Chain A
Amino acid sequence: MRNKSLAIGLAIASAFSFGTASAQQSHPLAPLAPLPDKVAPPVNGIYSSIVRIEAATQVPNYREPWKAGNFSGGIGTGFLIGPNKFLTNAHVVSNARRLLITVHGSPQKHPARIVHIAHDCDLALLEVEDFTPFKGMEFLEIGLVPKLESQVRVIGYPVGGNRISVTRGVVSRIDFSSYSHTRSDQHLIVQIDAAINPGNSGGPVLQNGRVVGVAFQGLRSADNTGYMIPTPVVKRFLTDIKDGQYDHYVDLGISEFALFNPAMRKKFGLGPNSPGVLVAAVTPDGPCDGVLEDNDILTAINGNAVDAAGNILIDGEKVNLNEIVERKFAGDQIKLQIIRNGETMEKVATLKPFPPARMYAVQYGVNPRFTTFAGMVFQPLDRNLYAAHNFKNTRVRRLFAHYIDEEIFKERKDIVILTRMLSDPVTTHVSNHAGRAIESINGEKVTSLEQAHQLLHPTTTPEFFVIKCEGVERPIIVPGNKAKEASERTMRNYGISQAYRLEE
């Protein structure tokens, strides 16, 4: 399962090191190769294909979801990869209400719009309304994954000035790691020792005149550490959108446990050098549900031998086995060789999107869903809500953390949270309930926001509305004949402009 929290992702990432791999490839003391891109194409040609993107954004308010949100903005970089095709980061243009593109050395601003946006891999494709001024400009070509220790150039419009900026760095790590934009996705990542600053985002990282990555994030706790999205991820995005729409990444839906322990290896009858990683858990309803089982040993994926740590060898680099799935699309089949109860067998899993995993991904460009009732605000739990409210209640934290592995999603499309109690004569003495999950309304288990809304607004008004929160014995009571009046009063008094929004 890769759709866990950022902290877990980072911990996993730090466990995989390519230090030994790099030592084998080139001796650490060997002199650095001369700069490969010294004889690059004319700089002006490339510079004018690297554009400045100005975004005016409107960020939804998950604390007071009826509000319009905060108007704000930011700067990023993009580059031309084809006729009216500008590539940039999704986070540069997320929640944008207006986009303007500026060419290096030109004062003119060109209105642009998003054609495709992929939050899970932090990439977006833009187009300008009028491409005429860009005619004749060079299209940057997408290259391969750069080698460790090789030099690259980062070009963009980072903070500290308005003009284009160029920095150089060395590829210092190639790893499977977290993409911070959604806080829940992990893909291949290339680390370079050039600083990537706000504004650099979406800019090209070049080697030999070709794009080897898209600069996208830095590390606050370390100096001179930048990260770029490598070309396999970029190419996958460009392939995915060929049919006119972007589909989400697909996951294998298993979590692996490294088989280093001798007792563990003995129990499963594995020799000291035999391949295979333990399947520690299979995501319910995921692509491997019914295909793999807990305690299977995964020995090969699409013919690539899986080692005890769950790594495979691709292009001479050891990478996590999920890298195979990374380059696949929904509907693709994956061949899995396993050992189950000492018996070797072949299994086939068909990859598919897994909507419940949305719980853990930050959502952009959507309006928060909510409903209100007698001064109470109800919202569905997801990463955005979690980040906005910082829930302390252990039940809520547990429902969030185990939404998938404990199969809560099968019963509950939404975990509905009572996020706020606005004081009103009808509910003023209810305390200790805000920040908790709703268990039932009028005796019916709550399974989605929409259903909760229906239960709170039935055709025939009950004598009492009885709302029960998880972990609180004392229910919230609203007399039926006072509910409508209390709803109207709280909306008026607290400036709630909209009573509910059930669709994003």
Chain B
Amino acid sequence: MKFFSLLSLTSAAMLCLAHAAADVKNSLVRVNSTLQTWSASQPWDKSAPSSRGALGVLLQGKQVLTTAEMAANSTYIELENADSTRTLPAKVVAIDYESNLALLAPDNGDTEGFFKDLSPIALGEATHIGDKVDIWQLEDNGMPLITQATVQSVDIVSSFVRGHYFLTYEAKASMQSASSSFSLPAVKDGKLLGLLSSYDSKDQIIDIIAPEIIAAFIADAADGEYLGFPSLGIGINSTVDPSFRLWLKLPEDVGGLYVTRVRKGSAADQAGILKGDVLLSIGGKTIGRRGYYDDDNYGRLFWSHLIRGQHKVGDSVKVTVLREGEKKEFTAVLSRPGKNLIPSHTLDQSPNYLVKGGFIFQELSVSYLSAFGKDWQSTAPLNLLDAMASPEDYEKGRNKLVFLSATIPTPATTGYESLRNFIIAKINGQEIADIPSLIKAFETPGSDRLHTIEFADGQPKTIYLDARISDAIDAELLKRGIPALSRG
């Protein structure tokens, strides 16, 4: 008898699974995207396109959720149903590079037909460590492939753009490769728990973007105007070091983070928080010596989740600091981080540039520097790396850092062939804040018909360019196939 009961139990479970499979399968679509970046060295060119296949999940309102990685720098995105009988062109409605999420919508196609047999999935609630979740994949033939994973820990992780950390579940499962294996949905009780952002096949660890982050992203995108996740705008250091604590006069019973930097104009700056303060609590949550607080749901979590994972732009947050031994309370109105002199990425942006007589001028970005290869942090030009490390030394009078990225040998640039990677200070006596101001400055050469180019850090400090010859060269370069002499 025992044998039979066991058998019946198993079949019941299988039935249940099959039922769930039918449900979720109807919410799954393939996302086929073609991605293309701009060339770092010849900014008028796009580099060779690449294709990626991923999964997306259908939400309410005929919108499809996938990771930003699948939609950033896209030239064409197509949705395809599980059994590959229908396709539909799609467009990006909202994209958040920091949290690695993107929302897609149909773009001129048979929308009704495509969504006829599909049904949206609901967003699930937060789960707990030890819970089991299903990771969904699709085989080539359209059959679902389900892997059960166990949530082992919760952490804040940076998955796409460097330096932006978000709540992430880390689950253990042995997965197989199947078609469209990116951006896989994690499902619990028939509801969407999160999206897979990475899988480490060696350790068999899956990173899943948490439901709170997805919910905040969807809510932000709902009004059609996407803002992004808020920030406080501080840099911090731990206070574990007992000697350091002694010097800071920190009592034994408090934790706290040492504020090393307050970004100008940020929420923290406006609230009155100063460099050298010790951050004791945010929104009533006490912060420990290494920066962790006790989260009601997940246990110990890094403090940044209190800002980025629990609030939106415009929210007020109470911040307590210790300053010269005294507790002080501030109210910070959270905002988006300000524009960087040297942007950390240029995803979906065509780089600004100007070609003048053979000189190629660009605006510096981390994307440009990282094009120097795997070891770019040591192989990229030192002066440009220094600008990245200490932008505050270069910010005066600049929106962006304009530099001479390369020199095409032409009759106008004879003798200048070796000049590159110099930061521009002035053109024709005018200070250069960005590429538009550079383009404008080149409109007025000196009375001798010579352009004067002053470098911030070059030898020689000043060079000259013949305006008449360089204009003729520019016309020639257009004929030779450079599609436009400038952008910006």
By a beta-carbon cutoff of 8 Å, the part of chain A in contact with chain B is 11, 255, 257-264, 266-267, 278, 280-281, 294-295, 392, 394-395, 397-398, 401, 405, 426-430, 464, 466, 471-475, 477-479, 482
Contacts and interface: CB of A to CB of B under 8 A. Distances in A.
Contacts of B464: 261, 263-264, 266-267
A295 B462 contact: yes
Interface of chain A, helix or strand or loop or mixed?
mixed
A266 B450 contact: yes
Nearest to B412: A263
A478 B243 contact: yes
Contact of B450 (A263, A281, A482): A263
A359 B469 CA distance: 43
A394 B386 contact: yes
A11 B460 CA distance: 17
Contact of A464 (B247, B388, B463): B247
A34 B38 CA distance: 61
Contacts of A259: 415
B376 to A, nearest CB: 12
Interface of chain B, helix or strand or loop or mixed?
mixed
Nearest to B416: A261
Given A429-B242, A474-B260, A398 B386 contact: yes
Contacts of A257: 459-460
Contacts of B412: 263
Most buried by B among A294, A405, A429, A482: A429
The size bracket of the interface on B is 35 or more
A479 B243 contact: yes
Contacts of A392: 377-378
Interface stretch (B69-77, B110-118, B232-240): B232-240
B459 A466 contact: no
B448 interface: yes
Given A280-B459, A295-B462, A392-B377, A260 B415 contact: yes
24 contacts: A260-B415, A261-B415, A263-B465, A264-B463, A266-B464, A267-B464, A280-B459, A280-B460, A280-B461, A281-B459, A281-B460, A392-B377, A394-B382, A394-B388, A394-B390, A395-B390, A398-B386, A429-B244, A430-B241, A464-B243, A466-B247, A471-B389, A473-B275, A475-B247
B261 interface: yes
B78 interface: no
Contact of B243 (A294, A426, A471, A472): A426
B275 A261 contact: no
B461 A401 contact: no
Given A261-B413, A266-B448, A474-B258, 20 more contacts: A257-B460, A258-B415, A262-B466, A264-B463, A266-B450, A281-B459, A294-B461, A395-B386, A398-B382, A426-B243, A427-B241, A427-B243, A429-B244, A430-B241, A464-B243, A471-B389, A473-B275, A475-B247, A477-B247, A479-B246
B237 A473 contact: yes
B450 A267 contact: yes
B414 interface: yes
B146 interface: no
B385 interface: yes
A477 B275 CA distance: 17
Interface string B71-102: 00000000000000000000000000000000
Contacts of A475: 247
Contacts, number: 101
A405 B457 CA distance: 11
A477 B415 CA distance: 53
Given A255-B459, A281-B460, A394-B386, A266 B247 contact: no
B199 to A, nearest CB: 30
A410 B378 CA distance: 28
Interface string B239-275: 0111110110000000000101100000000000001
A402 to B, nearest CB: 9
Given A294-B461, A394-B386, A260 B241 contact: no
A265 to B, nearest CB: 9
A429 B241 contact: yes
A429 B415 CA distance: 53
Interface in B140-177: none
A475 B258 CA distance: 11
A310 to B, nearest CB: 12
A347 B235 CA distance: 54
A10 B235 CA distance: 42
A477 B243 contact: yes
Q: Which 9 A-B pairs have the closest CB atoms?
A: A260-B415, A429-B241, A473-B260, A261-B415, A280-B460, A263-B466, A477-B247, A263-B464, A474-B237
Interface in B372-421: 377-378, 382-383, 385-386, 388-390, 411-416, 418
Contacts of B418: 11
Interface in B463-480: 463-466, 469
Given A477-B241, A477-B243, A261 B382 contact: no
B235 A473 contact: yes
A471 B392 CA distance: 12
Given A257-B459, A264-B463, A401 B242 contact: no
Nearest to B460: A280
Most buried by A among B261, B414, B415: B415
A295 B463 CA distance: 10
Most buried by A among B238, B377, B463: B463
A314 to B, nearest CB: 24
A439 to B, nearest CB: 13
Contacts of B242: 429
B408 to A, nearest CB: 14
A261 B389 contact: no
Contacts of A395: 386, 389-390
Contacts of B261: 473
A479 to B, nearest CB: 6
Interface in B271-318: 275
A482 B243 contact: yes
A5 to B, nearest CB: 11
Most buried by A among B241, B377, B413, B414: B241
Given A267-B464, A394-B385, A471 B241 contact: no
B291 to A, nearest CB: 13
B238 A429 contact: yes
Contacts of B235: 473
A430 B383 CA distance: 28
A473 B460 CA distance: 35
